[in-house]
Structure 1
């Protein structure tokens, strides 16, 4: 089964269009759609629940605006599928690519990432400032992964990638934590065009920039601890052999 996680906060108009689009894309495959809603005051959860009579939708309501990354992890915990996908609700991630991601994972790749920065990937409507910020954010993550778009919010994984992994989700960029901590061998980056938003307001603000820096600091600390543990363990093993 394919499980699609859609984190939402005030996406009432978009969710009406996204759910049928996902159904069309995955009509030939067994799938479920988990809408993880952070208590949207605009009634996003109610709209999704009404559509559950016609579509394979389950709504997971949370008590408040707890963050996109933690919403994705919450969705993973409640998903039934062995193939787990994540897509934003704002229609900036074109749902017609979903089958490409799912098939990539089903046919041997551990992770499939929707990439704006691999050959063929594009971004619509961004200012020079936002483009520079995005490129800078990715450069800062380079020591953690060689994936070209580790800040992507559009990706699919095999469930085994995150099994027995403890997450500390911060802000929006859960893929970066998965890449830093997950158990995987190969990643396929699939180019796509990041669309402009038509309905609702972007949640990206200065607070999320700060959260990203916090996430980087945490992951660098995590990686350093792993390196030190490996070196200490190796030295301990050599010491035992010499004894």
Structure 2
């Protein structure tokens, strides 16, 4: 980073140094402070901050590179998987195993934010009231605070298409007791290099610290007509926010559809399905 150093002479021989550091956004681009025109501002929905904060918990990680490989490009450093995406009043996020859709309220804009940018917005303590989106996303608050973040429009991804093919009718309501039993029974740490595989049958769930050796069983109605298997983290993350669930099957794969307050999601299984 280039530093412009200025020297100021004070009281004869006293020298002080003033450093002007160019402020940069998280992806390395220079931030733009030119305020957009007033007619470019849009009101943000009331659950905007709540939505992006919630969705940021369900993002994945950017690709890792070894020391021998070159530094990832800007496009690789911030990819759709480690961003939250706002589209038509919904906020989306995915880690390639679980995708969620949060209803933030009416909003016609589409743009994406990295997880670190979400944290920066949250650090203001209250939700911004307005936004103007171009190559740079500008936010402002009722108290006069403002924030400009570098924004690349091509990062925005419409994940709503993942929800459309599924039938969202006839989900099964789950009680707080059912939820607590499943989460409490299977919230253990798997052995390294194991996923804590959970096998779900119509009348029970089995699992263990080793994927190929289930050593615990919970007798409970599961609302599935097939034997399915999910990774522990994926299934529990879905159940923690669900009030309704529905297992659906397609060939050798299965999905868990779930709904909660202002949110719906899909958890994907990468394991077998048995009749």
**One fold, TM greater than 0.5?**
no
Structure with more strand by fraction? 2
Higher relative contact order (CA 8 A, sep 6+): 1
Structure with more helix by fraction? 1
TM-score (norm. length: structure 1)? 0.25
**Structure number with bigger Rg:** 2
